[in-house]
Structure 1
Amino acid sequence: MKIRYTIATLAASSLVTHATTLIQYGFDFTSGTVASQNGGVVTDDSGNAHHGGVKFNTPVYSSNIPTGTQNVTGVGSLDVSGGHHTIASTQNDSDIFSISEMVANGGLTVEVWANQSNSGNGGNAKIIAIGGAFDIEMDSTGISTFVNSSGNGVASFTNALADRAGTWMHVAAVIDNFVVDGGSHDFDLKLYINGTLQDSVAYNDVTPSFALGRQIGIGSQAHSGSGDFRYDGLIYEPRISYGAVAPADFTIVVPEPASSVFLGLGGLALILRRRK
């Protein structure tokens, strides 16, 4: 079934400039591999102790980070290319996320820097997978985001972005205007690339499910049988926050004046900053 896209304006949005960070992973390339850093533990720099660890094959660290960025939580990126390499949270999604807190904060934001090695494995390559409940994916057809609702994928779209192998991109998926509607919820799903809104679609009478009993995966889904969903490339600065984070407060600062084209793909330097 085709979904009709609409471009949302900030005036009609509940986007916030400050939100509650739930998870933020930094990577230290000087450690060589994930297994050699802190006993194989990837530290959650949000202060919430939602730490991660190796799942399936061990990823390595890379010194390749987005050009012109400041180090925020790590001095390197995570290299998950060439195999089923995954970082998984030590807790399940239902132990980290709460629908009531999403309502109280107006939504949820997932953001990450990604540098694709190739076109992936042909489909649904998961850069970040919140237990199969809320994902950011990339393959040769573009970037997409997906929301699971009570076992059924009801909210998704794909940005018509060609394969950008070897190019760093900041990607953010935002659940905005998340409100109670009877026994379910209404929300807007938005996709940003390099701080620029690409797509937005409104959904009514659905409830995202975070009760699947699965871990958060960086580089693929973190449950058994997820080899077909592995991402191939570099990952930097993944962050998950309660609230619909405004582009001005992503882990990216968009140069002024903001351009309608994909900032950064044309060679503009993009500066990271730490959210206050």
Structure 2
Amino acid sequence: MKTFVPLSPKKCVLAFGCACALAPIAHGVTLLHYWDFEGGYNDKAGASNGTAGAEVSTITGQDGNTGAFFPSAVTGGGAFDSTGYVDIAPATNVSGAFSMSYWVQLPADTSTDGRGIFDFSGDGGDGPQSLFIQSGGNAGNLAFRVDGSGTSNAVAFVTVPEDNSWFHIAANFDPSGNLAVYLNGTPSASVLASGVADATWDVDQYLGAFNVNTLATRGLNGGLDDVAIFSGLLTESEISGLADRSLTPPDLVPEPSTGLLVGLSGLALLLRRRK
């Protein structure tokens, strides 16, 4: 009968490292919501499924699959109605730090209206929103904004391309630090965020437009793809992976059961060899 000798920590790493390295290691980040527009507008990570209006259409997305195209205005004028955007069930109110990742495509045109990319702050409520501004003091900039209660907010501006190409935006919001925005994986803007630590998420939420109850021209007039919301902050390497398409949002948060199964399988194999 052979005597069982426990493996040293170094040997354990060698025994299990190859198998466990197949999945990323989570670091307190949770994928809460993910709209990839593949086969519809459902939330592939949570329960905030979307309903698309009649004027929302499908296009070729950033990865060659399906993306969504949103108009700049709806027929008939007046308030921007639900035919021009994706109305989603309320997303989880993230308490504390969160990250967002999404792809945008903007046409080369001469529009001067603010274009809504997404709005989780309702019509002037609290929460994050993103829009493209073609006129005023921040002309030609994409804005990522987080609104808190009252008048508190943090807004970061990034100059983005207008040539029908897809570009990637990621944002990290740390209520005790900064709101940082990345363009195609590169840090591009950062502003102090500590003044909006009390931000909540409005119940009126939509993709492809913003402030829809006030003006007729609040639609994106462009494409949107792979919108993801995480609790916790993404690392710069994860953001780079999302931007260069070597990672997708689900890749960043492996299911615990998967890692456990791989580890147990490796342990069973090791024990059989030592008998």
Query: With structure 1 as the length reference, what TM-score do the two structures score?
Result: 0.66
Could you say which residue in structure 1 is the equivalent of 2:259?
Answer: none
Q: AA paired with 1:22? A: L
Could you say which residue in structure 1 is the equivalent of 2:47?
Answer: 49
The structural deviation recorded for 1:131 is 2.4
Does residue 60 of structure 1 match 2:57?
A: yes
Which secondary structure state, in structure 2, belongs to the residue aligned with residue 228 of structure 1? coil
Cα distance in structure 2, aligned partners of 1:114 and 1:211:
22
Could you say which residue in structure 2 is the equivalent of 1:20?
Answer: 30
Equivalent residues of 1:18, 1:249 under 8 A apart: no
Cα distance in structure 2, aligned partners of 1:163 and 1:193:
10
Gaps of 5+ in 1: 1-15, 32-36, 179-185, 256-269
Cα distance in structure 1, aligned partners of 2:195 and 2:156:
18
Could you say which residue in structure 2 is the equivalent of 1:136?
Answer: 130
1:154–1:237 CA distance, 2 compared to 1 (3 A): same
Cα distance in structure 2, aligned partners of 1:227 and 1:120:
17
From the two aligned structures, give the one with the greater helix fraction. Answer: 2
Alignment of 1:220-259 (within 5 A): 220-221=209-210, 223-225=212-214, 227-250=216-239, 252-253=241-242
Could you say which residue in structure 1 is the equivalent of 2:85?
Answer: 86
Q: AA paired with 2:116? A: K
Cα distance in structure 2, aligned partners of 1:207 and 1:253:
27
Equivalent residues of 1:118, 1:232 under 8 A apart: no
The structural deviation recorded for 1:54 is 2.3
Does residue 218 of structure 1 match 2:217?
A: no
Cα distance in structure 1, aligned partners of 2:115 and 2:106:
10
1:20–1:211 CA distance, 2 compared to 1 (3 A): closer
For each residue in 1:102-150, what CA deviation from the matched residue of structure 2 results, as whole angstroms up to 9, or x when unmatched? 2xxxx11121100102458424312121124211222331211111111
From the two aligned structures, give the one with the greater strand fraction. Answer: 1
Could you say which residue in structure 2 is the equivalent of 1:145?
Answer: 144
Alignment of 1:140-219 (within 5 A): 140=134, 141-159=140-158, 161=159, 163-176=161-174, 178=175, 186-210=176-200, 212-215=202-205, 217-219=206-208
The structural deviation recorded for 1:211 is 5.1
Does residue 114 of structure 1 match 2:104?
A: yes
Which secondary structure state, in structure 1, belongs to the residue aligned with residue 73 of structure 2? coil
The structural deviation recorded for 1:254 is 5.4
1:253–1:90 CA distance, 2 compared to 1 (3 A): closer
Cα distance in structure 1, aligned partners of 2:105 and 2:55:
19
Query: With structure 2 as the length reference, what TM-score do the two structures score?
Result: 0.66
Which secondary structure state, in structure 2, belongs to the residue aligned with residue 158 of structure 1? strand
Which secondary structure state, in structure 2, belongs to the residue aligned with residue 249 of structure 1? helix
For each residue in 1:45-71, what CA deviation from the matched residue of structure 2 results, as whole angstroms up to 9, or x when unmatched? 11x21111125x431111x222xx4x7
1:207–1:27 CA distance, 2 compared to 1 (3 A): same
Equivalent residues of 2:67, 2:223 under 8 A apart: yes
Cα distance in structure 1, aligned partners of 2:226 and 2:200:
23
1:98–1:108 CA distance, 2 compared to 1 (3 A): closer
Q: AA paired with 2:168? A: H
1:78–1:205 CA distance, 2 compared to 1 (3 A): closer
Cα distance in structure 2, aligned partners of 1:211 and 1:190:
19
Cα distance in structure 2, aligned partners of 1:197 and 1:125:
23
Equivalent residues of 2:115, 2:221 under 8 A apart: yes
Aligned residues: 208
Equivalent residues of 2:31, 2:228 under 8 A apart: yes
Equivalent residues of 1:17, 1:246 under 8 A apart: no
Cα distance in structure 1, aligned partners of 2:118 and 2:100:
8
The structural deviation recorded for 1:251 is 8.3
